[in-house]
A and B are shown apart, each in its own frame.
Chain A
Amino acid sequence: MNRSFVKTILFCFIASALITACKKEDDTENEVITTVVVQLKSTDGSIDRRFTWNDPDGDGGLPPTVEDIILARNKEYDAQVYFYDRSKSPEVNVTPEIERESDDHLLVYRINGALQLTITPTDADTKGRPFRLKTRWTTKGASTGSVLITLRHNPNKLLSNPDETGSVDAEVEFPVRIQ
């Protein structure tokens, strides 16, 4: 227990601090959903379109660009929602992971305005509970409004209405026109 001991400790300490210090690699894991795409295929196969909600520069900065969803009257569409992280290059498609963890996710659709549209699920999670990544959109007369799509994380699917449980991973609103 003398000065050389203290020096040794000091040396080790500084060395370890500097070694950890010099690692500049960034191994944080920061997923950002910047882009939501709704693919709508009419059941008769005549229409197949993708509508995009896009905010590649993340929160704030430039406002997101949103495409209007345009639907034909009295038609049925098979819809699927895709999620991307376009802040990274190449872009990351987050959808397969959400599908894999379907038990922990839930999509919620809210129709605003006088839109003559009904949305019904066509899928379920691995336990047969709601998931709603894939849905069927049925249109009636010409009308306008919007659809708010919310991706919820860790919802309580045991409840009769799990739509307001868990926390929000993504929430985007598409203007919709049926013509």
Chain B
Amino acid sequence: MIAQIVRVWGAVSLVFSSSLWLGAQHCDIPLRGMVWDADTGEPLAFAAVRVIGTHRGALTDETGAFLIPDLCEDSLYTVVVSHIACEHERQVIRLLENQVFHFYLRHHVLKEVVVQAQAAAPMPIQALETLSGESLAPRQSLPLGEALRDLAGVSVLNTGTTIAKPVIHGLHSNRIVIVAHGVPLEGQQWGAEHAPEIDPFSAQRISVVKGAAGVRYGIGAMAGAIVVEPASLRQQPGMSGWLYGGLHSNGWSGVLAGSADWKASRRALALRLQGSVKRSGNLRAPDYWLGNTGLAEMNFAITAEGKTGAWRHETVISRFSQRIGILQAAHVGNLTDLRRAIESQSPLNNDNRFTFDIGRPFQRIHHYMVRHRASRSLAEKWKCSTQYALQFNRREEYDIVRRTDNLSTKPQQRFRIWTHMLDVALKHLPISHWEGGLGAQLLYQYNLVGRGGLIPDYQSWGASLWWLERWRHFPKPWEVELGLRADYRRTAAKTTGAFYNVDTTVHFGGVSANLGVARLFGAYMRLMLHTGYAWRPPHVNELFARGVHHGAATYEEGRPDLKAERSWNTHLSAQYRRQRIQATLTLFSNRVKNFIYLDPQRTFVLTSRGAFPAYFYTQADAVLSGVDVSLSLPLIGALHIEGHASLLRAYRFLSDSAEGPSPRDWLPLMPADRFQYGLSWSKPESSASQTPSTLVRILATTTLRQTRIPASGLLSNAPPAFTLWSAEIAHAFRAKKSRQRYLEAGLMVRNLTNVRYREYLNFFRFFTDEPGTNISIWSKWHF
């Protein structure tokens, strides 16, 4: 299958490249080279090397060497190297005499559970949206959620402008999994105002896997997963990297980031240092400043790769730290305050000025991760890989306190969570055209909340077993994927010194499964059917939470007898790719049994700050279904017309006891229908390259008013429809001789027409408008 797709791409590049190699003069030069296994560093025998557009090719011998005679000197060729066990490698080379080219191939067995970020990379049988290259670069300085906002099927759950959580097909938080450096992120994801602790600069590519992905990514991947994939470390000796600088006009924010790779000349040691720094002041809505919406962030990651004997080691150490201001005007003491805020057109108690200072309320978050992976090949077709990851997440929330003196420097809430994960996996190369692997995972988690928290402290123990296999038999157009996973989770929750006492242990077990079938029709059309079963145990907050949720002015109470959520998610996806025509259509239906949600009660809970409406966690079956469409059609020359649509219908079945004429009700806080349309103009950098050197794009996004909202509850007020315009320009400046060094630069304008609007998925829509125009410039120097 992959090979066929390569052929398609090859055909595309042939059209482009034909003009180049016709003009060359000396056409008697051989192409010499070696093919290596990038994972083991050993030469690869029987790898196929093809020079696109010449009908020439060769196989490598036992030493990994190959020779293709009679090519033209000083010409650009596109070379595709493929091996049955590896991902194909595609490179553009300039052929000169007396040169030996080295190609490094990576195994594609790596689509295992979580252990490898590449899991989802090589075209899984699942709907996928990716952000990379010139689409990723201008968005890397945004929070992860904002960066993914424009992808079809993805939306953002905001708490103000500074906190953004990605939403896939209406689900977020504990119902999706975010994987960074091959490790699922473990923090305080349960909270709607807890943004993921991910630095988009660590990614070369961010993939959004849509649909149940529980087998690959574990508990919780009911709606999908977000996989943040760093670039592979350097294979050839030497140094390389990039430096990034960016400025945003809204908030006068500045971003600096960089990454440097180094590989020893003799030894197998490779190293990467990567880091980023961001600072932003108050943002501005069209009519006023948004008081206290500044941000300060500093992240770094160190990656090292090496070999000892047969083992290959990879270690990642990363630190994410952030201090984010939260809109002051959103601080409400009780329901009366909230009602007043909602009735007011402009924000009340707003600090209407620009400043870089971040005052109360703010959040301070640290996330540390250490991950070590060791892998080796066992037999000819088998490979063993073990991975240990430790994550520590500390989240401190500083509220506006009654005390105004400077004595109060302490947070009002502190969460600390330690997560240990041990993975062992056995992977195999194709055996009768089946390739895959099986493995086990152990997890231990300790969450310390301390007094005054909304949730009790808890400890969790988990164990998982999984098995994933994929069948493909070139040139048959079919491809099949099967996976099965069993998880067990035990959680002991205990309050320490809080008002109420919880000391309970709960057990949950579940099975995840998936079946994917893909078929290629002709060379351009790919049809995928994916159905998956995923589950998640109720989180401690859903079981035991008790307290007033301040931003929402609601009293929330958990229910200790909640059952696990189980989701059956089916996707049908059609892809058409022919030269510059691209179209993708995805239909999905996600049936969730025991969907847990906050149910508004008809009672108020009396507190010392007045009465708050009561919301109790409860569960009912829910159905979320919808359509994602993406389209790109050539108009004239390099000009394309682009369109995307994301539609979602999400409802739950009412329990028998509830009154009301309809047996079902809409789910609250689901993204409204969204349409994007615009023009893009991209000029390929060279005939052979897929990456454009110049990109200009103007895109309008129309978000309709969400009319499908529950009949009762505070959240029954959706803002009107709006249309935003955005523009992007990016260009890659390359030195003629060097393919390594180049400069990318760009300009991006968001909310071009300074529209006043409010988002339904923003909890702070009651208080302020969304930010106005933001002009960003960025540049990235690759060396």
Contacts and interface: CB of A to CB of B under 8 A. Distances in A.
A167 interface: yes
A74 interface: no
Q: For this complex, into which size category does the number of interface residues on chain A fall?
A: 35 or more
Interface string B311-351: 00001010000000000000111101100100000001100
A21 B366 CA distance: 12
Contact of B410 (A10, A29, A53): A29
Nearest to B496: A26
Contacts of B368: 13, 17
Interface string B442-471: 000000101110000000000000000000
B425 interface: no
A6 interface: yes
Contacts of A10: 315, 317, 370
Contact of A165 (B349, B403, B500): B349
B499 A57 contact: yes
Contacts of A100: 405
A84 B411 CA distance: 20
B591 interface: no
A165 B348 CA distance: 8
A55 B405 contact: no
A64 B269 CA distance: 66
Nearest to B396: A28
B608 A28 contact: no
A55 B608 contact: yes
Q: For this complex, into which size category does the number of interface residues on chain B fall?
A: 35 or more
Contacts of A34: 608
Contacts, number: 145
Interface string A136-179: 00000000000000101110000000001111111110000000
Contacts of A154: 349, 400, 404
Contacts of A46: none
A31 B609 CA distance: 13
A13 B414 contact: no
B333 A26 contact: no
Contacts of A169: 333, 402, 609
A168 B269 contact: no
A60 B392 contact: no
A154 to B, nearest CB: 7
A166 B333 CA distance: 9
A172 B333 CA distance: 13
A125 interface: no
B605 A101 contact: no
B533 interface: no
A58 B509 CA distance: 34
24 contacts: A1-B262, A6-B304, A6-B315, A17-B370, A17-B392, A20-B392, A21-B416, A28-B452, A29-B408, A30-B413, A32-B608, A33-B608, A58-B500, A58-B547, A59-B546, A59-B607, A61-B499, A61-B500, A64-B606, A100-B405, A153-B333, A154-B400, A166-B349, A171-B610
Given A30-B451, A31-B403, A171-B336, 19 more contacts: A1-B262, A10-B315, A13-B317, A17-B368, A17-B392, A28-B410, A28-B452, A32-B452, A58-B547, A59-B546, A59-B607, A59-B612, A63-B606, A64-B607, A64-B608, A100-B405, A167-B337, A169-B402, A171-B333
